[in-house]
Amino acid sequence: MPKMMIAVAMFVWVLSGCGLNSGSNTTGNPTANDVLNANPAANIFMYQDIIYSAGIDWVDELTLTKDKEITVVIEQQKGR
């Protein structure tokens, strides 16, 4: 009987650790600070509150064509 109680107690203890989620995970678009904290030399721009990163290898390999102008760069900053 004591072995059964110990086994049940250990099972409950292990199971209780699996069910609690003490952290919170959020998914969303990174902010400019998030991107620059990860890579201070990142080449980024913001359009309609979304941060885009330029200078990514697979993006540079794309064949792009000019269709229409969607925005104008109004501010550039050197360094951080």
Element (H, E) at 59: helix 57-60
Polymer length in residues for the chain: 80
Q: Which residues contact 53 (CB under 8 A, 6 or more apart)?
A: 35, 42, 43, 44
Q: Please state the pTM of the whole predicted model.
A: 0.43
The rounded distance, in Å, linking the Cα atoms of 57 and 48 is 24
Q: pLDDT per residue over 31-59, tens digit each? A: 889 888 988 888 888 888 888 887 777 77
pLDDT in tens, 7-31: 888 888 887 776 666 666 777 888 8
Residue 16: helix, strand or coil by DSSP?
A: helix
Per-domain residue ranges of the chain: 28-65
What the block records as the tokens of 31 is 């902010």
